[in-house]
Amino acid sequence: MTAIYTLDGTQVRTLEDFWRLIGEAVNGPGGYFGRNLDAFSDCLGGGFGQPDDDDYVVEWRDHEASREHLGYPETARQLELRLSRCHPANRPAVSADLSAARDQHGPTVFDWLIEIFEDRAPGVLRLQ
């Protein structure tokens, strides 16, 4: 039987909201399913936090609301945070990504998440 984990896209206003909601959907209140892009990728790929069910899907309902909230302003905010913490050698690349996001170019936070779903767990995500 396929387990279905549901995300309410109207509640995903920031990347931090996504981490909380995906964790709760998969592993219950206070649950963990990644709290950064690498950890999320690991969880989807079978690392720590993966659902016990081998056969599961994630239904992201009202994903268009999430797409809007996880657009360029949230992307710029996340890249500003990344820039403040990254290794000095990575600052030029992160700065370029930040500049692009401020100009509303390039991938958004929403795009980052979709790409990870597609790369690490093809067919698991259902956008509704």
Q: Which run of H or of E encompasses 95?
A: helix 91-102
Structural domain spans, the chain: 1-71+108-128, 72-107
Which residue, among 7, 3, 27, 118, has the nearest Cα to 67 in the 3D structure?
A: 7
Angle (CA) 66 19 40, round 5°? 105
Distances (CA, A) of 5 to 10, 28, 44, 86: 16, 10, 13, 33
- 55-114 pLDDT, tens digit per residue, is 889 999 999 999 999 999 999 999 999 999 999 999 999 999 999 999 999 999 999 999
Longest dimension (CA), the chain: 48
Whether the predicted pLDDT of 48 surpasses 70: no
In CATH, the number for domain 1-71+108-128 is: 3.30.370.10
Predicted confidence band at 44 (pLDDT cuts at 50, 70, 90)? confident
- What is residue 45's predicted lDDT score, i.e. its pLDDT? 82
